Chain A
Amino acid sequence: MPPNQDKTLGRRLLATLEDVNALIPKVKSPAQLTNLRESRKKLLQQIGTLVDTNLDSAAVEYREATRGLQDASTSIRNALKEMESVAKAIELLAKAVDLVAKLVVA
């Protein structure tokens, strides 16, 4: 794990949330517990907003990448069809020869 000052905002918020959790068993009064509840709630909301924003922006990148890969797969399918067309071209040549044979007989 990187040192605290090198951590991202989300990681620092998460570390603070863990600190709040560590304080819960040590509270001496209901007022302190209420304060910790409030801090925990705010931290969870802040981390949540950050995660939602990042996951949604990444979703756009994922969709772009998926399209790129699907295009590549289409190119490969087309190439496979072209490879099959070599045998078909020879078959066509054979048919042309057949026609020539018929013409010569006629």
Chain B
Amino acid sequence: MFIRTWFRQTQLSMLYITCVATIFYGCGLSVQQRAAIERFSVSTGEFAELASSEFVKSRTDVLEMNKLRLQLQDDTVKVTQIDEHFSVERVKVRVEAVAALKGYADLLHVLVTTSQELPLRNAADSFVASLRKVQGVSLSDEKAGAIAAAVQGVGGLIVEYMRAQAAREVVNAVHPTILQILELVRRDFDPAADHWSLGYEKIIVGLEGAAGLAAAGPNAAGTAALVGEAQVVAAQNRSRFRSVAEQVNNTAVSLREAQVNLRYAVHTTDVTMEDINSFAAKIDDFVKVYRILRDR
């Protein structure tokens, strides 16, 4: 009697879970939404790698250029501040920010791609094994398999619902921060702004000036080789930095588009044929399981 009551309750529970899961399923992530997150993740990786390496490279270049200025007797450079404007702390805060951006994008990717299939299958198998131990309950292998599949299916739908909810909430909440960090990095490398790029170009022009002064000074012949080296380094760094600044700007624009698209994508409710087929297959499973339980 007890077992029969319990089993009837289980039937009702299964139906309840099915209904809830059916509602949940409509809120899962579509293929397009996953693709938008994938694109965002890839764009972020490219952007973070480029920006991070360039922040570090800027400092290395500045150290090299200021050493040359010191050798050229430029009294506007202090030995104690040879990394002028590009201190370890200033580089660190920027590298950490782009690393946090990449870390966020990687985790978002894990959130949408991580599979709970195996843990759910193991849990469902464990559930059926326990069910078979109950006195008065006898299940054929076929029925046990169907119940396990249903339990796993319902668990999967709940997971999909949770995945979609988390992705929507996080993408929405972090949107202003992503745009802020993109603007900060873009502005740092903007050749028309007064930020990182101005500091870098100031050192280049400072090196050119130091070379000019040495060439015009009383020891011009003795410093000719150093003057030539300084001019080459200045020209190379200017050319390289301009090219990098353009790349940073392009990747920032691309990532901004990816973020805006992602934010839109996670809020749309477009349903593809693939989604519908998958949904129909799952409902089929539930119906089968319900019949098994009802016919007992």
Q: Residues of A with Cβ closer than 8 Å to B?
A: 1-2, 7-11, 14, 17-18, 20-21, 24-25, 27, 33, 37, 40-41, 44-45, 47-48, 50-52, 54-56, 58-59, 61-66, 68-70, 72-73, 75-77, 79-80, 82-84, 86-88, 90-91, 93-95, 97-98, 100-101, 104-105
Contacts and interface: CB of A to CB of B under 8 A. Distances in A.
A59 B103 contact: no
Nearest to B13: A93
B174 A8 contact: no
B123 A59 contact: no
A58 B195 CA distance: 9
B100 A70 contact: yes
Contact of B173 (A9, A14, A75): A75
Nearest to A61: B184
B126 A91 contact: yes
A73 to B, nearest CB: 5
Nearest to B132: A101
A63 B104 CA distance: 15
A26 B76 CA distance: 21
A97 B93 contact: no
Interface string B87-114: 0011001101100110110011011001
- The DSSP consensus for interface residues of chain B is helix
Interface residues of B, number: 76
A33 B191 contact: no
Given A44-B206, A69-B177, A8 B116 contact: no
A55 B199 contact: yes
Contacts of B198: 10-11, 14, 47, 50-51, 54
B215 interface: yes
19 contacts: A8-B193, A14-B205, A18-B205, A21-B209, A24-B209, A25-B216, A40-B213, A55-B199, A58-B195, A61-B180, A64-B180, A69-B181, A76-B107, A80-B107, A83-B116, A86-B155, A87-B116, A87-B122, A100-B6
A69 B90 contact: no
A24 B212 CA distance: 6
Nearest to B121: A87
Nearest to B133: A101
A72 B188 CA distance: 24
Nearest to B216: A24
Contacts, number: 209
A76 B181 contact: no
Interface in B177-231: 177-178, 180-181, 184, 187-188, 191-196, 198-199, 201-202, 205-206, 208-209, 212-213, 215-217
Contacts of A52: 85
Interface of B: 2-3, 6, 75-76, 84-85, 89-90, 93-94, 96-97, 100-101, 103-104, 107-108, 110-111, 114, 116, 119-120, 122-124, 126-127, 129-131, 133-136, 151, 155, 158-159, 162-163, 165-166, 169-170, 173-174, 176-178, 180-181, 184, 187-188, 191-196, 198-199, 201-202, 205-206, 208-209, 212-213, 215-217
B76 A21 contact: no
A72 B167 CA distance: 10
Given A14-B205, A94-B129, A55 B196 contact: yes
Given A10-B198, A70-B100, A94-B129, A100 B123 contact: no
